[in-house]
A and B are shown apart, each in its own frame.
Chain A
Amino acid sequence: MNKMILLIALPLLAAFLIPVVAKFSATVSRLLGPVVLAFVLVFVALQWNVVGRDSFAIFLGGFLPPVGIVFYVDHFSLMFSAIIAAMLLVVWPWGQYTAIRQQSLYMLLAASSFGLVLSSDLFNLYVFYELLAVATYGLVANQPHKAAPAAALRYLFVSCAGSVMLLIGIGIIYTITGTLNIAHLATMIGKLHGLAGLSAFILIVVGAGVKAEMFPVNSWVPEVYGTSSKSLSALLAGLISKLAVVLILRVLLMLFQVDVVLDLLLVVGILGVLSGEMVAWRAKDVTRMLSFSSIAQLGLVFVALSLSGTIGLWLAVGLMLHHLLVKGGLFLLADSMPGSFNSLKGLARRSPILGAIFLIFIFSLLGIPPFPGFWIKLMLVINLAQQDDVLYQIAIGVVLFATVIEASYLFKLVRIMYQKNDENIIKPPQTSTSGMNLLYAKFFALIVVVSMPFVSPISDRLKDMSRQSVNAENYIETIMSQPKLGGQS
């Protein structure tokens, strides 16, 4: 059980050692990162049955809460750990061995991501969030694109402002309650529901919302995705944005299931969906279109979160997994579709497989019946319709309207791709990574297709996991009521 900390310790160790090992043997240092990630995958798979129905907690340093740092392990965090490891393996910079420190940054990214899904301590979450942020600044700034440093600088400013707000929020909560442990906080929920506590939560949401591409604080998105390689965009849009949502999730589910907060999330989500889809409709190239559509999809996640309890978590996780798969796949696919829409004329006729994969992804993204995306959107709309509040009725309208806009711009692109070839079209240059990324995109599309008949069992499983994660009594009991540990006598 205690070995779970290896998820953090090993990637950090690899990050520290990669520059040293590189002096002795280039091959070993290149393999260090992928080996650690593969080990984590196997390790998590082995832990899956150990967790069973009972989640467990690990107490770092052997100090019991509220003084020590606690990690909470359930199926939810294990699933996200496995996804993180797999996704990082997919976007691993295999070809770029000149910058060995970039691999260190990827390993730091891995360690902080595992920390974010496992930790149950507010300040510890902040530390990992900050580590994640610094590693991504470096990766974004180190892109070969001319405008990359400028994009990274804007990202840095917005993100730093967000981090400060997150820290202020955590500080306010600590001042009110005197503790940072989320389970301990959950036992004194009454203190948090005053004006100060709620504003602290709003600060946390806005702060973490920067990475989650939340509506008012997402101005960095198009620029960064425009200048980054498609693998990095797939990582940022697919995975990192979800991790920020996971940070918000823990705090929201355990501490702030209040109407005001839920309404706020709903409004932010609606605005995100609307603004994202509107701008995506006007986009002139694939990357921009995908960036704004990603903002809209994250808006949907926030709409789902505004439904309280198990249903909210279940829908949010479903939407996140679906978006990770589809948007990650689309960004990887976009590596083979550079340039503006006009240069894509007849692309699908030249390479039919690329066209087919693109169609699979956008059908699922839109929610066309047999694809998994349809069921998630359907469940979202059904559950929104069961709420009494007028705001939720508006949300249904917005979700459906957004789907129409989405269909309009996605099919516009499809029409361009299937147009007759003009002779004078110059085939845009392919990047060195596009072959590999096309392969991964095919794999992602395969997962989408294969998952179609299994939607029902998958969703039941997700619902079970959500029930386990939402269960506050279980959470508090697992963390707070432990017999005195061995410790040091």
Chain B
Amino acid sequence: MTKYTSLLFIAGLSFLLFVIVGYLPIAENPMVAGKAILGSAQQEVGSANIVTSVVLAYRGLDTLGELSILFAAASVVGLLLGKSYSTDSVKTQKSGQAKEYKQFVVLKSLDLLFPMLLVVGMYIIVHGHLTPGGGFQGGVLLAVAFSMRSIVNPGSDKKNHYSITFIEGFAGFSFILIGVLALITDGNFLQPLLGKGEFGSLWSAGTLPLLYLAVGLKVGAELAGLLFELNGEEERV
């Protein structure tokens, strides 16, 4: 019975959405906010990548919210997995060491890949205000760089990844600190500071690159922590 009701509900909802789509002025949208941003982003924010000016300046609070959602999700995983932390992890560690010889080629190529991933990840984060990319994308690359070994060989390096918790907290702290600094001079939260610089150069768009660096570190630490945790390698508080 429940099955049919849900089916009926989904059918009704999709029918409704189809009808609504017919009514929407698609392709001739009155993009009021969008056009306003396209017109003024270069003068007001000064970042060559307009998407970045939306993400970090016009809607910076939403980005802070998204970061917090990611943090909440990671905290929940830590909270739930931390509870059932079992003793059989010692066993996986042993078998992990035995496997290490068989995966010689894979592990050595990971070592080669590591610096390259770091460079690419940092490049994408630092140039987020100039080219497509930014903190979220670069942060994922950083997370991959640090957790590759653990993905290939789960349970191999068992240690307390305290540095991850620290980077996570520090990056979140700096994002909010940069936002609050503007309050001192009677500005608004997350108002871009430090002047706009020369349009299109690396030192431009005020505090935006710093914010993106914080976003990148936070996303990277968050995801790496999640991966370690899911591989049963981290015992969090």
Contact = CB atoms under 8 A, between A and B. Distances in A.
Name A's interface SS. Answer: helix
Contacts of B57: 61, 63
Given A101-B236, A168-B17, A66 B32 contact: yes
A2 B36 contact: no
A58 B61 CA distance: 13
B76 A105 contact: yes
Interface string B24-62: 111001111111110010001000000000000111111
B188 to A, nearest CB: 4
A266 interface: no
A131 B30 contact: no
B191 interface: yes
A69 B62 CA distance: 9
A420 B44 CA distance: 76
Contact of A59 (B20, B23, B73, B188): B188
A451 interface: no
A469 interface: no
Given A131-B72, A135-B72, A137-B76, A178 B29 contact: yes
A142 B162 CA distance: 23
A177 B28 CA distance: 11
Name B's interface SS. Answer: helix
Interface stretch (B104-112, B128-136, B151-159, B179-187): B179-187
A13 B76 contact: no
Contacts of B29: 175, 178
Given A127-B65, A176-B24, A195-B23, A13 B172 contact: yes
A261 B165 CA distance: 48
B68 interface: yes
A62 B62 contact: no
A187 to B, nearest CB: 11
B92 interface: no
Interface stretch (A17-25, A286-294, A303-311): A17-25
A487 interface: yes
Interface stretch (A3-11, A35-43, A387-395): A3-11
Contacts of B62: 69, 123-124, 127
Nearest to A103: B75
Given A12-B68, A22-B237, A101 B79 contact: yes
A222 to B, nearest CB: 16
B120 interface: no
Given A19-B169, A178-B30, A5 B189 contact: yes
Nearest to A8: B61
Contacts of A67: 33, 36-37, 40, 58
Contacts of B98: none
A63 B44 CA distance: 9
Contacts of A281: none
Contact of A2 (B72, B168, B188): B188
Interface string A462-489: 0000000000000000000000011110
Contacts of B186: 2, 486
A267 interface: no
Q: Classify chain A: how many residues form its interface, as a range.
A: 35 or more
B176 A2 contact: no
Interface residues of B, number: 67
A60 B78 contact: no
Contact of A194 (B23, B80, B183, B237): B23
A226 interface: no
B69 A130 contact: yes
B72 A108 contact: yes
Contact of A488 (B64, B78, B196): B196
Nearest to A198: B20
Contact of B172 (A12, A141, A172): A12
A104 interface: yes
A176 B58 CA distance: 21
A2 B189 contact: yes
Contact of A177 (B16, B30, B168): B30
Given A58-B188, A138-B75, A23 B165 contact: yes
B190 interface: yes
Interface string A175-199: 1111111001000000000111001
A46 interface: no
A15 B66 contact: no
A141 B162 CA distance: 25
B75 A124 contact: no
A9 B179 contact: yes
A165 to B, nearest CB: 8
Nearest to A171: B24
Given A17-B169, A61-B188, A61-B189, A179 B32 contact: yes
A72 interface: no
B188 A199 contact: no
Interface string A112-131: 10010000000110011011
Given A23-B162, A115-B65, A138-B75, A60 B60 contact: yes
B123 interface: no
Contact of B71 (A108, A168, A196): A108
B170 interface: yes
User: Which of A58, A112, A127 has the most chain B CB atoms inside 10 A of its CB?
Assistant: A127
Contacts of A58: 188-189
A9 B237 contact: no
A207 B16 CA distance: 15
A104 B70 CA distance: 13
Given A59-B188, A66-B36, A124-B65, A105 B20 contact: no
B172 to A, nearest CB: 3
A99 B82 contact: yes
Given A2-B186, A16-B169, A20-B169, 11 more contacts: A19-B168, A20-B165, A23-B165, A61-B192, A105-B75, A124-B59, A127-B61, A138-B79, A142-B80, A199-B16, A487-B44
22 contacts: A2-B186, A5-B179, A16-B168, A19-B75, A19-B168, A63-B57, A69-B59, A101-B75, A101-B79, A101-B82, A104-B72, A112-B65, A123-B62, A124-B61, A142-B80, A142-B83, A175-B29, A176-B25, A195-B19, A488-B191, A488-B196, A488-B206
Interface of A: 2-3, 5-6, 8-9, 12-13, 15-17, 19-20, 22-23, 58-63, 66-69, 99-102, 104-105, 108, 111-112, 115, 123-124, 127-128, 130-131, 134-135, 137-138, 141-142, 149, 165, 168, 172, 175-181, 184, 194-196, 199-200, 485-488
